[in-house]
Structure 1
């Protein structure tokens, strides 16, 4: 049996295309995904000062005049009473809101603002000269005046653009900007409650005269905004790096592709009459079956050893306790080899290339998605996350990640037992089909 295993293994390892897919491709993907998505996985927040562009797409003079005209045309200014108009002119909304936000002492500790035109800001962002852009849109001044001096509540959307490679910086900028807009919304709601209460009590237009107190508090509110950035690990546990996540993800994904190798070998042996010659030579069908199991097992050991070795050296991936890594790897390989053995029997029985190809294109990719090899499962709905326990790579990922996080053997016991159980079930089913085929042949 062993000379057959070594022959099959030699055939597989000499197939440059298959080896490129099984070994080189996962390492390339780990390099690309690990580098491009590293900001999503870091447990450290960069608290250095961010340079952010402020883009003012509004025209303060025009929009102020437009608002005054709006007041006059809609009955807010009556009998030549220009007091409300005077209040609007005296209240420099840009200085009291935007500039006070920019000059806030706590915000200045983490962000350095630059006033730029939109196109210039986008070019600097593309070159990574700045961390983000905050855009105050056209009609922002008009809408703010309407929000503060009328019962209306106009849209005050402030747009934030960040660089895709600076995700954490973008989140910080978005968070601070959201705090700014939330503060505005709170003040506007308070103003609306004030005006609605005044109108309900028949105070009418006289209520606008008392807006001074509300307006005067606006500037002070923005001066008192406090900003702090804290990074905290949950229960003292370290987070996985992007290279750790994708090393595990790609390794467990591409090991599934070794399954189809057994099926292709069985088809080739049947078509070349190699299988028939082995039977005539006295080799039992069970030994032939076990030969496929150990061929896939050894191929997967070579594959996983190279991936773990390369990622440890090239990307400095910390796989954790190597004894536990070995236990997880052997359990995963056992399950994969069991599935590969079953695939070999079915491919031989049905003599179908389509079945083997369908496994590679449909089953393996479905396992990769549901098991969490491609994306963190936390991004999926809860009901989909439970499907990981139905996939070999999902169980392998859970076990590997627990080892990487330094968790005890108890944390990996369940996935290991499930992998071994699944592998055993696959082998038993494969043996059943093989013996059934043998009885049919002898009949």
Structure 2
């Protein structure tokens, strides 16, 4: 009997809610509209215009500033003879030649190939070849490709690249070699990633050169001749890129990101809906009539919670179906998706329960209004709904896991990228923990205020006492 009555009340509440056009537009249609607009307009932050990847294609144009169009060398080639002339013009360089001899210097010169270090050991390394491609071209062609958004950036090797590399690697002298990188501002993530790779290469070479110079100085101080020091060999084994925790994950494009981002944000509006449900029934005396009909206050509360959960579930399913059919978005493992969705519904339900009990207990809707009109936007920003959280400072990225919407966003994105269910469970657990804390807090508020109200109604007032007398 009680369950039948609860079911009837739930159906009535659900029909009433679905008849509210403003609520339907805000909760169900707004996420679809906004995610579609942002998904198309912010594609450049995630890679190609086709939305294939966040960081693909990582194609670069390399311009040899020391060569002309068609490989014609500017000026004379940097030969061994030119190298020896440069050394002889410097007192330290002259000492190097005097101590090591011309034959040994020639052997080192022939063993070191600056172009091979950059193009083969760095750009052609197995680690980078999987994510980065390049073509050697002239500056005019590279600029045209950049303007047409065909490449992620232009790498310009300076005119003194070959000479400077020889001097830096084979002598105690220093020659400033400044590699220029022209970013494609239309590709925020991929262009910045390419720049970081080049900075890593430059940093590695700096460390090699610094260590070499320290070694030479120590040997000179110890009275060891440079001829006995093997410091001119090509650093093949040292030039590697260390990749930690990198695996073949599926990229998420702008449409996928903002579909999840808007869904997580508008789920907060669904939770705020709870603030209106029970309070409205109390003010219309519907709550008292339900109590008089034999329903306990916990049964009524459970029915409202079920309504919030149902609305949240419809929101999620609508976004999944819409994005799958229209954007061809893959949401990842179906099993993991089901687990994440269930946890999300329960977590949002817990937050809605807290809003519901606080509003009803204190007979004030302000908490939901403040949340809808201000706090919700702050949580959305911190949780990554507007700006991809990976582009924010490290502190903000950590704070993003505090609000429940930030955790929801991350776990859905991770499932899209191909993380396994065991790897997703910590985030699922965090959502459930949020829901549990919210639910317990809401139940305690509801129970305390109900008991207090019951006690207050049984205490005679001064007017009651006079009437009895």
Structures share fold, TM-score greater than 0.5: yes
The counterpart of 1:391, out of the listed 393, 404, 411, is 404
Q: Which residue of 2 aligns with 1:276?
A: 283
Once the two structures are superposed, what CA deviation does each residue of 1:353-411 show, in whole Å capped at 9, x if it has no partner? 36632465325643763599964679875997497377365268547845964536994
> 3-state SS of the aligned residue for 1:282?
helix
Residue 102 to residue 238, structure 1, CA distance change in 2 (3 Å)? closer
Structure 1 position 306, deviation (Å): 0.8
* Contact 1:373-1:397 within 8 A present in 2 as well: no
Q: Distance in 2 between matches of 1:313 and 1:300?
A: 20
TM-score by length of 1: 0.64
Structure 2 Cα separation of the partners of residues 160 and 42 of structure 1: 22
Contact 1:399 1:416 survives alignment (8 Å) = no
1:52 is paired with a residue whose SS is: strand
Give the paired residue count. Answer: 412
Task: State how far apart, in whole Å, the 2-side matches of 1:41 and 1:229 are.
Answer: 26
The structure with the largest helix share of the pair is 1
User: What's the C-alpha RMSD, in Å, of the aligned pairs?
Assistant: 5.8
Find the residue that maps to 2:284 and give its secondary structure: helix
SS in 2 for 1:134: strand
Corresponding residue of 1:407: 421
- Structure 2 residue aligned with 1:421: 436
Measured at CA, do residues 422 and 337 of structure 1 come closer, stay the same or move farther in structure 2, by a change above 3 Å?
same
Q: Distance in 2 between matches of 1:17 and 1:311?
A: 18
Q: 1:41 and 1:405, CA in 2 relative to 1: closer, same or farther beyond 3 A?
A: farther
- Number of the residue aligned with 1:190: 212
Any stretches of 5+ residues in structure 1 without a counterpart?
none
Cα drift, residue 255 of structure 1: 0.9
Q: Is the 8 A contact 1:52 1:134 kept in 2?
A: yes
Q: 1:357 to 1:238 in 2, by over 3 A?
A: same
Q: Which moved more, 1:306-315 or 1:174-183?
A: 174-183
What residue number does 2:375 align with?
Answer: 362
String of CA shifts for 1:264-286, please: whole Å, max 9, x gaps.
Answer: 5667x4xxxx7433349723493
Identify which of 89, 111, 115 aligns with 2:134.
111
Asked whether 1:309 is paired with 2:318, we answer no
Separation in structure 1 between the aligned mates of residue 203 and residue 398 of structure 2, nearest angstrom: 35
1 CA distance for matches of 2:244 and 2:224?
A: 52
5+ residue gaps in structure 2?
A: 1-8, 68-73, 459-469
How does 1:33-432 map onto structure 2 within 5 Å? 36-37=45-46, 50=59, 52-54=61-63, 56=65, 110-116=133-139, 121-122=142-143, 124-136=145-157, 147=168, 151-163=172-184, 165=187, 167=189, 171=193, 175=197, 178-179=200-201, 182-183=204-205, 186=208, 189-190=211-212, 193-194=215-216, 197-198=219-220, 201=223, 234=247, 238-239=249-250, 241-242=252-253, 247-264=259-276, 269=280, 275-279=282-286, 282-284=289-291, 286=297, 289-290=301-302, 292-320=304-332, 322=334, 325-348=337-360, 349=362, 351=364, 353=366, 356-358=369-371, 361-362=374-375, 365-366=378-379, 369=382, 375=388, 385=398, 388=401, 391=404, 394=407, 397-398=410-411, 401=414, 405-407=419-421, 411=425, 414=429, 418=433, 421-422=436-437, 424-432=439-447
